[in-house]
Structure 1
Amino acid sequence: MSTAYEQSGRTRQKQRTRNDLIAAARELITQGGSAPTVEEAAAAASISRTTAYRYFRSQAELLAAAHPEVELTSLLPAGSGDDPETRLLAVVGAFIEMLLKFEPQQRTMLRLSLEPSSQPDQLPLRQGRGIGWFEDALAPARDRLSEAAVHRLAIAVRSAVGIEALVWLVDVAGLSRDDAADVMLSSARAIVRAALSEGDDA
């Protein structure tokens, strides 16, 4: 998400400033409360408000950059083999681990994504990254499922795994986070097995 401003002159210093703003935003999110504004992140990083806005024009841009998933293109471990279920569950496991590690940031992004004034193109939660990671894991299933079916399967898994599911399982159902993680993994396993079984029968 580098801007023209960051790409011209003293780029290393500018990258450090940008990283300081992102780190400050992540720390403020971890502390709880409302999502930090650009001004609040700037104050926490001891950076002037004017300078901060050269890097992030809005709160949404700042929070998107602070989201832990923003640079990841795949969650598939090396040597995962060609079995779609094994690959999918490995990715789901990594997805859940990251979800729990960065739960405060994930909850903040969820709250922001539900606001009527939010800008979907700037919010990682609305860009389908999880779906893309699950499709990547399910690539070997394309020999028995159509492209559309693989996409639907990835969507089905994502609907059962993520911050939305975690919030419901923990806050509403009253499960511990470990139990919630087990439920999400079991749901993903059941969904992928059913879909692959139907594909074999087609």
Structure 2
Amino acid sequence: MDISRQSSAEEVERGPRARTRRLMLETASRLMQSGVTPSVTEAAEAAGVSRATAYRYFPSQAALVQAVVDEGLGPILTWKSDAKDVETRVDDLIGTSLPRIEAYEATFKAALKLSLDQWARRQAGTLGDEPRFTRGHRVDLLKDAIAPLKGSLSGAQFERLAQALSLVFGVEVLIVLKDIWGLDGEETQSVARWAAAALVKAAMVAEM
């Protein structure tokens, strides 16, 4: 997703401060899982935390949403594969990621809503100095998945394959295949994995 990677929870102080931050995260996560994209103030009120305290941990809505999204992504962010075959690596990434994304579907859709809302306000010139919520973890993950092809594809071909695979990886896949086509989670994953394999094969054939 272009989300900037944040400091891990381990870097936050332990004790009451850590508990307050965790409470804010859990509250914001609960709100996002219900379909709401909370402001820092709204999350603070729901958590019973003062606004001043909340803003010390999350200085903007974008920072709060980024933290919740990273929590939702969880093990996806540390995905690695020892496989040498690119098709296997890509299939493993999608097979690992989509069930997790579906489990936190409402959270990722709420984050997408914020991204689209900011885009609309930026187009209208009303976003002001509000920090931008960006999405982009998928870029690094997909490039890692197809890394064995770096030596056989040109730089442009490598980038294009990663870009094409990004179309079948992420919450947008659920929006298209579940919301529009009415597929269930298992069917959605099957289509996404099939499409990813087809893209990898096409890139490898073009290279030959």
**TM-score normalized by structure 2?**
0.81
Partner of 1:154: 162
Alignment of 1:91-170 (within 5 A): 91-115=93-117, 116-117=120-121, 122-123=132-133, 126-170=134-178
Partner residue in 2 for 1:195: 203
TM-score, normalised relative to structure 1 = 0.83
Aligned mates of 1:175, 1:24 — CA distance in 2: 30
Query: Is the CA contact 2:62–2:131 (under 8 Å) kept in the aligned structure 1?
Result: no
* Alpha-carbon distance change, 121 to 180 in structure 1, aligned in 2, over 3 angstroms: farther
Q: Do the aligned partners of 1:92 and 1:185 also contact (CA within 8 Å) in 2? A: yes
Q: AA paired with 1:36?
A: P
Structure 1 residues 150 and 167: alpha-carbon distance in aligned structure 2, compared to 1, 3 A threshold: same
What secondary structure sits across from 1:143 in the alignment?
A: coil
Q: Runs of 4 or more off by more than 4 Å in structure 1? A: 70-73, 118-122
- Report SS of the residue matched to 2:121: coil
Rounded Cα–Cα distance in structure 2 between residues aligned with 1:97 and 1:130: 15
Residue 3 of structure 2: aligned partner? none
2:80 maps to 76
Are 1:21 and 2:14 matched, yes or no? no
- Cα drift, residue 91 of structure 1: 1.0
CA distance in structure 2 between the partners assigned to 1:66 and 1:48 by the alignment: 19
Sequence identity percentage: 33
Q: Tell me, yes or no, if the aligned pair for 1:121 and 1:127 is still in contact at 8 Å.
A: no
Give the drift of 1:76. 2.1
Which residue is 1:36 aligned to? 38
SS at match of 2:48: coil
Cross-structure match for 2:60:
58
